[in-house]
Amino acid sequence: MSFDSFFSRFNPLVAGVLRSPLHFLMSRGLMLITVTGRRSGRRFTFPVGYQRYGDSLVVMVSEAASKNWWRNFKEPRQVELCLRGVVRYGEAERVAADSAEFETDVRRSLKRMPWLGRVFHIHYDAKRGLTDAQVRALGRTIVAVRIRLQPLEANRSRTERRWYPMRPVDLDFLKTAGVVYTMECELRASRKAVWETYVDASTWHAWFPGVREARYREQEGPIGVGSIREASVSGQAYEEQMVAWEEGRRWAYTLTRATFPIAHAQLECTEFEDCGSGTRVRWILAADRRFLMWISAPFLKRRLERLWREAVESLDRYIALRA
């Protein structure tokens, strides 16, 4: 069984992950591409490997003779992608096998990922690089498709979102949740500065990885327990209701609905305490998991730890710059 045939069996699972908030587990090298057949008009969506160079993506199609989707791009055509959790559009075109552009793409691909030699059925020497004969041989067995991305402001994906309800919970859920992750980090900034920045939704896009926008819904009276916060994170949207707002000490919300929930119920609680002249911040995520969150468990804790560390370090820098 070939490499492609084996991994194509997992396409539905991979597609589900790439569409989800957990896309970061795979989306650095994989994306979803939606192809519309020139003759049939049917739409097909499946995962492909890619490499990004500025506003261009290169997809190397191995065992090209056994696949048909790339044949739709002998001339430039519009294509839809799910790239790092965000729907993007671009113009795709097959790169001529005898062109200098094809040779550049092939050499760059193998230099970056030498293991592709096995996928392409050639012996690749990383020290010597590709020979001219190997480049010509690859031109007969693989295809390169180049995609030029449209600017985000031209993205036509801003259509009506489909929301899925989640089960609201309160702080007691921390004791009964199916899974609880706890992360701690220390910041140089004072607890007052950390608290004021952390609860200010308008700052989150500047320091929390993946957040494009966050805001509290307009209401009468001060923001606090019961307030609704809306967030757009890595291409997904969330609605959160505050369940704790203890000035300078604790801030927590439950998710009430999401466009791609990975849990039946989810609570996120952040606690703040003095640590010398700085602040110790403790983040707790509690959830009753859906299947996707369950199968990603072996990777999720490590990824959450890294995400939290990046977020807190970025928050500390952000506060220092504003001081």
List the CATH number of the domain containing 128.
2.30.110.10
| Domains: count for the chain | 2
Asked if residue 283 belongs to a domain, the reply is yes
**Whole-structure pTM value:** 0.61
Q: What is the DSSP letter of 46?
A: E
The three-state secondary structure class of 305 is helix
User: Which 3 state secondary structure label does DSSP give 212?
Assistant: strand
| 159 in a structural domain | no
Q: What is the pLDDT of residue 293?
A: 85
3-state secondary structure of 298: helix
d(CA 177, CA 289): 9
Nearest Cα neighbor of 284 from 262, 269, 265 is 269
**Enclosing domain of residue 92:** 3-154
Instruction: Give me the pLDDT at residue 159, please.
Output: 46
Q: Would you tell me the crossing angle of helices 100-112 and 132-141 to the nearest 10 degrees?
A: 100
Q: What is the DSSP letter of 223?
A: S
pLDDT for res 296: 82
Do 106 and 182 lie in a common domain?
no
126 lies in the same domain as 217: no
Report the pLDDT value the prediction gives residue 240, as an integer from 0 to 100: 97
- The reported pLDDT for the residue numbered 160 is 54
- How many Cβ atoms are within 10 Å of 74's Cβ, its own excluded? 11
CATH number at residue 267: 3.30.530.20
173 burial type by CB count under 10 A (0-12 exposed, 13-18 middle, 19+ buried): buried
Residue whose tokens read 């009430």: 256
Identify the pLDDT of residue 5.
Answer: 65
pLDDT at 158: 45
User: What confidence score (pLDDT) does residue 187 get?
Assistant: 96
DSSP state letter for 188: S
All residues at 6 or more sequence positions from 245 whose CB lies less than 8 Å from its CB, including other chains: 199, 223, 224, 225, 227, 251
Q: What is the pLDDT along the chain (323 residues), one digit of tens a residue?
A: 555 666 778 888 888 888 887 888 888 899 999 998 777 778 889 999 999 988 899 999 998 888 989 999 988 998 999 998 888 899 999 999 999 999 999 999 998 889 888 888 889 888 888 899 999 999 999 999 999 998 765 554 444 567 889 999 999 999 999 999 999 999 999 999 999 999 999 999 999 998 989 999 988 788 999 999 999 988 788 999 999 999 999 999 999 999 888 899 999 999 999 999 999 999 999 999 988 788 888 888 888 999 999 999 999 999 999 87
Q: Is the dihedral of CA 69, 35, 84, 165 positive or negative?
A: negative
Residue among 175, 220, 174, 229 at smallest CA distance from 200: 229
Same domain, yes or no: 118 and 205: no
Cα(130)–Cα(247) distance, rounded to whole angstroms? Answer: 62
Count Cα atoms within 13 angstroms, Cβ side, for 179: 18
